[in-house]
Structure 1
Amino acid sequence: MKILRPIRAVVATSAIALTILLPATAAQALESSTFAEENDESNAVVSEELGTGSEAGGCTGAAIAPHWVLTARHCVDTYPNPAGSVRLGQGSNQRTVAIDRWEVAPAGDFALLHTVEDMGLSSYPTLASKTPDSGEGTMYGWSEDGSGGQTRLPTARGKIEGFSEISLYEGAPSIQVTAQDGAKTQAGDSGAPLFVNGELVGVLSASLDTEGDDTRSSNAAYAQVAEQREWIMGVVDGSNKGSGGARSDDAVSGSDGLSPLWIGGGAVALVAAGAGTYFVMRRRPDAQESEGGDRGEQ
């Protein structure tokens, strides 16, 4: 497979398996037999097409204001320039809105995508000011050829287990959530929201306890929205100046002991020596080459 380029990520881990759910190929999204009814909460969940051409990839996000979508920073950090679109709605009521720029948070796995047009939702989610350490939430994740195709939004109940030691981009400890009823997160779910009692409390960063090349897992780590609530609201109302949309090589750097991340046409992996840490990234089909091609090695 063709080597595209190396990437480095800021991440603190313990000796557990971790899969960072970077932009995905089709069929890589929340695996669930339950689908969301149309309501104010589910209407805010969008499918993201990021980048262009062979570099394009997909994530999930939440529309939090007429021109702003909250997603995971690692979804956009692979692209040198902002580009792409978000898809809103389900079934025959879907529409696409172009992205013209994005901003990344000063800490934590958060990014804000700015849309050219007003997304026109009747309401937008409330951002949580506190993070629950127990209870139950609602998980989402858009699929292409997965359980919901391109028209139905998969959803699942998630049990909040407390906090994980996983911390991306020098953020606070992640919320550890276990999907219920056999549901699993996959590559492409990155940036998906976690709702608790109608409030947006988390942004999906990674799957935990994955095995081998299988990126699916019922255990997930969500970045705490409360950590960067003030920054998010400041960008939305114009009082905070963000990153300007370009990827910062200084901000995306390797922690001590982490090897570079090599991106292949179909997947990438990083293993931190002795840490049991595993990162996988998948691209759109047009970015992939034949399965029988050579795989880049570290």
Structure 2
Amino acid sequence: MRGRPPTRGRALLIAALLALAASALGFAPTASAEVPPSHAPGDISTKIFGGGTVTEEQPSIAAFYNGGAFCTASIIAPRWVLTAGHCAGEGDTPEVRVGSLDRTQGGTTAKGVQVFRHPGYNWPGNDIALVQLDRDVDTTYSPLASAGDIAQGQEAAIYGWGVENADWSGDIPVNLKYASGTVTNTDCTSANPRMLCFGGNGSAVAGDSGGPLRVKSPQTGQWVQAGVSAVSPIPAGDWSGYTDIAKNRDWIKEVAGV
């Protein structure tokens, strides 16, 4: 049974305390106890988290290690990785493993030499960062969405190595996971600017931070990356919030030239 939603202040305090506990377990969390605007009936599955294990190659998705913390990321150009702002900051030198479904082996490894966190970062607002790598990684890069690629109700999928328990406990899985669903809201949460919200047969949890939200573009029919994992409820619920890439395209192009 669900009780009354917490007030915003109490929700963020709960989120902060749980995030600290999650960090102590060795990963950088996607954290929020805040409740977004209600979803329309039928928009999402009744299954609150879970998704499935990825079996097809995902050459643009990266496992992201920053000291003792873990996030998910995507590679968008030979030397540029995109992740959440709360996963890395100025002076960090994270390591990535690109293009392997197994976060412990395979693919290509590289080290971050410079982190560019969004200048307006104030979690959960502008929760996005670019990481310049020490070498070129030859792979298929994640195509980035423009505003015309994103629409409420469109088909979507999320990816990450997040923990598999609703309370964010347990180990990070070895194999990449995904969940299928839709963009339930293109203007959700109290973040400034507003986020994209995903609902489906799974939701982001600790370890999924920085991972991609992909959408099937109504313009081209192609799958493109529309968001970066930034917030989700504790315990895992029926939604996840993603930083809107389309709102950050000018900054991404200025920094990474993509």
TM norm. shorter chain > 0.5: yes
- Post-superposition shift, 1:106? 2.9
Q: Is the 8 A contact 1:137 1:196 kept in 2?
A: yes
Q: Name 1:67's counterpart in structure 2.
A: 79
Equivalent residue in structure 1 for 2:133, among 115, 130, 154: 115
Structure-2 residue corresponding to 1:262: none
* Structure with higher RCO (Cα < 8 A, 6+ apart): 1
Matched to 1:114, the amino acid is Q
Query: Which of 216, 227, 232 is the matching residue for 2:252?
Result: 232
Deviation at 1:76, TM superposition (A): 1.6
Alignment partner for residue 207 of structure 2, among 170, 184, 188? Answer: 188
- In the TM superposition, what is the alpha-carbon distance from 1:15 to its structure 2 partner? 7.3
1:192 CA displacement: 0.8
Q: How does 1:262-277 map to 2 (within 5 A)?
A: none
Superposed structure 1 runs of 4+ greater than 4 Å apart: 13-24, 26-31, 143-148
Aligned pairs, number: 206
8 Å CA contact 2:83–2:128 kept in 1: the answer is yes
DSSP 3-state at the match of 1:93: coil
Relative to structure 2, which stretch is displaced further, 225-234 or 171-180?
171-180
What is the rounded CA distance, in whole Å, between the counterparts of 2:172 and 2:50 in structure 1? 8
Q: Deviations over 1:230-266 (max 9, x none)?
A: 110221129xxxxxxxxxxxxxxxxxxxxxxxxxxxx
Contact 1:148 1:154 (C-alpha < 8 Å) held by counterparts: no
* Structure number, greater radius of gyration: 1
Superposition pairs for residues 28-47 of structure 1, below 5 Å?
32-39=50-57, 42-47=58-63
* 1:195-274 alignment, distance < 5 Å: 195-197=214-216, 198-208=223-233, 210=234, 214=235, 216-237=236-257
Rounded to whole Å, the distance in 1 between the matches of 2:79 and 2:9 is: 40
Aligned counterpart for 1:124 among listed residues 130, 141, 148: 141
Work out the CA distance in 1 between the residues paired with 2:256 and 2:59: 19
1:141 aligned residue (160, 166, 178): 160
Using the TM superposition, give the Cα deviation of residue 16 of structure 1 relative to its aligned residue in structure 2, in angstroms.
8.8
| Backbone CA RMSD of aligned residues | 3.0
Identify the residue that residue 117 of structure 2 maps to in structure 1. 104
Shift of 1:202: 0.6
Match of 1:49 in 2: 65
Asked if the contact 1:157/1:179 (under 8 Å) is kept, the reply is yes
3-state SS, counterpart of residue 53 of structure 2: coil
Residue 43 (structure 1) shift = 1.8
Alignment-derived partner of residue 156 in structure 1? 179
Deviation at 1:103, TM superposition (A): 0.3
Cα distance in 2 between the residues matched to 1:105 and 1:96 = 24
Q: How far 1:194 sits from its partner (Å)?
A: 0.2
- Quote the Cα distance in structure 1 between the aligned partners of 2:83 and 2:252: 11
Match of 1:165 in 2: 189
TM-score, length basis structure 1? 0.61
Q: Does 1:86 align with 2:93?
A: no
Distance 1:140 1:112, change over 3 A: same
TM-score, reference length from structure 2: 0.69
Displacement of 1:116: 0.7
For 1:147 and 1:156, the matched residues in 2 are separated by: 19
**1:4-23 residue pairs with structure 2 within 5 A?**
17=11, 19=15
From the superposition, tell whether residues 195 and 16 of structure 1 become closer, same or farther in structure 2 (CA, over 3 Å). Answer: farther
Asked whether the equivalents of residues 129 and 229 of structure 1 are also in contact (C-alpha less than 8 Å), the reply is yes
Structure-2 change in CA distance of 1:219 and 1:234 (3 Å): same
Are 1:75 and 1:191, in contact at CA under 8 Å, matched by a contact in 2?
A: yes
Specify whether residues 110 and 33 from structure 1 end up closer, same or farther in structure 2 by C-alpha distance, changes over 3 A only: closer
Q: Distance in 2 between matches of 1:96 and 1:144?
A: 22
Structure 2, unaligned runs of 5 or more: 1-6, 31-48, 121-125, 165-169, 217-222
Structure 1 gaps of 5+ residues are: 1-12, 239-298
Is the CA contact (8 Å cut-off) linking 1:29 and 1:142 kept in structure 2?
Answer: no
